[in-house]
Amino acid sequence: MRNPGGLVCGLFARWGWRPGPDAWSIPCLDQAGHRASITVAIARGGVVVTSSAPGPWLIHPLRVGRLRAALRDAALTVAAMDERPRAG
């Protein structure tokens, strides 16, 4: 039996839901033509890119712009975090 929570999260992801405030989800298709998503997230040392399915991925041309924007926003956020003065 499928995990009902995974089904709900999958539906939300299809509508553009992000897993967290510092993550972006971009819909795509995997090599078999099934729905997948690429997630861009912020980590302590940089930007992390993951996918719900192994690549290669087919990304619609308009979604490529969203992926580019997500990568740019994540990189700028990490750079701003690195520039903040550290306590201590």
Q: Are 19 and 25 in contact (CB under 8 A)?
A: yes
Q: Which residue has the higher pLDDT, 85 or 78?
A: 78
pTM value is 0.69
> If you average pLDDT over residues 8-29, what whole number do you get?
68
Beta strands in the chain (DSSP E): 23-29, 35-42, 47-51
Q: What are the C-alpha distances in Å from 70 to residues 7, 22, 56?
A: 24, 10, 19
